[in-house]
Chains A and B, each alone.
Chain A
Amino acid sequence: MASAGDTRLGRAAGQPAWWLQVVPVILGLGAFAVYATLRAFEGAYFQWGPYLSPFYSPLIDVHHKYWPFSPALLILGGPLGFRVTCYYYRKAYYRAFFFDPPACAVTEKSGRVYRGETRFPLILQNAHRYFLYLAVIFMAFLWHDAVRGFLFNDGFGVGVGSIVLLANVSLLSLYFLSCHSLRHLVGGKLDCFSCAVAGRARHQAWSWLGALNEQHMLFAWISLFGVGLADFYVRLVSSGAIRDLRLL
């Protein structure tokens, strides 16, 4: 006999295996974290011709005048903080890495003290909007790099790398524009659009961002892989492993 309060109640027969949802997240985020860490510390092969790896943009102290280590380490805190405090990624890693919960209606390990996001360090998740402000600066640099990727020594041109960098910054822009905090700041914080200054414009902007927000998870993943692939492409070209194909 089992009582209805038994923790096993949440694990009825026929329930889909919870790890099917968790394993792809562990593999995806884990692979990116390993690759990004290696590349950030590598400090080489981040630039070729008009191309600059997004892991190293904006490029600061490239000649190591003030900073002896990889220049990527100076700037990666911004994008990393934006992703770590992102509402989508929080869901993903709480489930996949903390098993809190591993999946819906799957019983967690008992005996742990749960404080959610009410205490240090997780209370710092509330700083997401500040990383959003920082992300504006990063987006400006990345768009600058993408445009610069079309400006070769002999003038305007299109290489595979130009398209890779443009695709990367476009995906990052979709991820940025679909952010929950941005939607809140643009109009979500208002109780009454019709009563506010520029209320109709803010309602329109809020509606558009809301439509993008519905795909925030998708943009989070494809922009993550996009930025990794863009860096990988620049590394391949910069290290001489492949030659950039000039299309125009």
Chain B
Amino acid sequence: MSDATLKIFRGTREIGATVDYRVPIAPGMVVLDALHYVQSHLAPDLAVRWNCKAGKCGSCSAEVNGRPRLTCKTRMDTFPQDKPITILPMKSFPVIKDLVTDVSWNYKVNKKIPPFQPRAGVEWRMYQEDIDRVQEFRKCIECFLCQNVCHVLRDHDKQEQFGGPRFFVRVAGLEMHPLDGLQRTGLLKTELGIGLCNITKCCTEVCPEDIHITDNAIIPLKERVVDDFYDPLLGLVRKIRNAKEPAK
């Protein structure tokens, strides 16, 4: 059995550094297993958030060798054994301790989004063709890796003006719902700042549920915002039809 060196961030938001640990590698081992080994044998005070260890709870997000990942879905044998594996907390969120970050900002953003509201007099029947798109968005496990990797939050600190990919996925699920009666394009344009997204697809690249966040959620929402705010022809058609303008 060979050993691997883990360089794990230890500390708080104010002060911290990576510390090296030697961990024996077993077949099929994932990074979270290695962290548990460190916790049980070498550093019992190591703080790691985890729950299901099956890639479904979204708790164990971290940055392994610079890439945001779920540590429970990242196999140790995908890394060269002769080089140290660096494990850091998610950069976009404040560190509480070691690998545990404070992701409560996400829940505040979530509260801005009006929940599902059925259309008046709606018939409660849905067809598969109407919910194909929405089902993809329901796979989200809220690991917040997409929020972490998004450069608008990560490098430009636009938390006050921008909702982030996770919440565009949520809004897409509501906006494309066949029975929902609310329009959220005004919210997308203003409070959630979808115009700040420059569609560089990092959110899609890191999504452990393989949700096509950019192509299937963000870009369709951007197109809906164009429909309601930037397309002069559609604006003219709306005026001619005396259609109700979206809330701004």
A-side residues, CB < 8 A to B, are: 1-5, 9-15, 87, 90-91, 94-95, 100-101, 104-108, 110, 114-118, 122-123, 126-127, 129, 180-181, 184, 188-189, 191-195, 199-200, 203, 207, 213-214, 216
By a CB distance below 8 angstroms, the chain A residues around B65 are 12-15
Query: CA separation between A118 and B179, bound complex, in Å?
Result: 31
CB distance from A90 to the nearest CB of B (A): 6
Contact status A11-B16, CB under 8 Å: no
Contact status B67-A118, CB under 8 Å: no
Binary flags per residue of B197-228, CB closer than 8 Å to A gives 1, else 0 = 11111100110000010110001101111110
Query: CA separation between A134 and B46, bound complex, in Å?
Result: 59
By a CB distance below 8 angstroms, the chain A residues around B95 are 4-5
Query: CA separation between A189 and B16, bound complex, in Å?
Result: 48
Contact status B196-A181, CB under 8 Å: no
Query: CA separation between A12 and B9, bound complex, in Å?
Result: 11
CB distance from A175 to the nearest CB of B (A): 15
Among B9, B156, B199, point to the contact of A4 (Cβ < 8 A).
B9
CB distance from A205 to the nearest CB of B (A): 12
CB distance from B122 to the nearest CB of A (A): 10
Whether B193 is near chain A, meaning CB under 8 Å from some CB there, is: yes
Known: A9-B88, A95-B200. A104 touches B11 (CB 8 A): no
By a CB distance below 8 angstroms, the chain A residues around B205 are 104
Q: Give the nearest-CB partner of A210 in chain B.
A: B216
14 inter-chain pairs at a CB distance below 8 angstroms, sorted by A residue, are A3-B15, A4-B91, A5-B13, A9-B91, A91-B201, A94-B198, A101-B200, A104-B202, A114-B196, A126-B222, A184-B220, A184-B223, A194-B127, A216-B215
Known: A94-B198, A191-B178. 8 other contacts (CB 8 A): A87-B219, A105-B67, A107-B155, A116-B196, A116-B197, A180-B223, A189-B227, A191-B175
Contact status A14-B66, CB under 8 Å: yes
Contact status A4-B16, CB under 8 Å: yes
Query: CA separation between A193 and B131, bound complex, in Å?
Result: 9
Query: CA separation between A234 and B222, bound complex, in Å?
Result: 39
Among B180, B195, B200, B230, point to the contact of A191 (Cβ < 8 A).
B180
CB distance from A193 to the nearest CB of B (A): 5
Contact status A214-B215, CB under 8 Å: yes
Whether B57 is near chain A, meaning CB under 8 Å from some CB there, is: no
Number of interface residues of B (CB under 8 A): 66
Query: CA separation between A194 and B180, bound complex, in Å?
Result: 14
Contact status A194-B178, CB under 8 Å: yes
Whether B68 is near chain A, meaning CB under 8 Å from some CB there, is: yes
By a CB distance below 8 angstroms, the chain B residues around A94 are 198-200
Contact status B84-A13, CB under 8 Å: yes
Whether B70 is near chain A, meaning CB under 8 Å from some CB there, is: no
By a CB distance below 8 angstroms, the chain A residues around B14 are 3
By a CB distance below 8 angstroms, the chain B residues around A127 are 230
By a CB distance below 8 angstroms, the chain B residues around A189 are 223-224, 227
Contact status B66-A12, CB under 8 Å: yes
Whether B159 is near chain A, meaning CB under 8 Å from some CB there, is: no
Known: A181-B223, A194-B130. A14 touches B198 (CB 8 A): no
Binary flags per residue of B23-38, CB closer than 8 Å to A gives 1, else 0 = 0000000000000000
Known: A100-B200, A116-B195. A191 touches B177 (CB 8 A): yes
Known: A9-B63, A12-B86, A105-B67. A3 touches B11 (CB 8 A): yes
Among A3, A4, A117, point to the contact of B198 (Cβ < 8 A).
A117
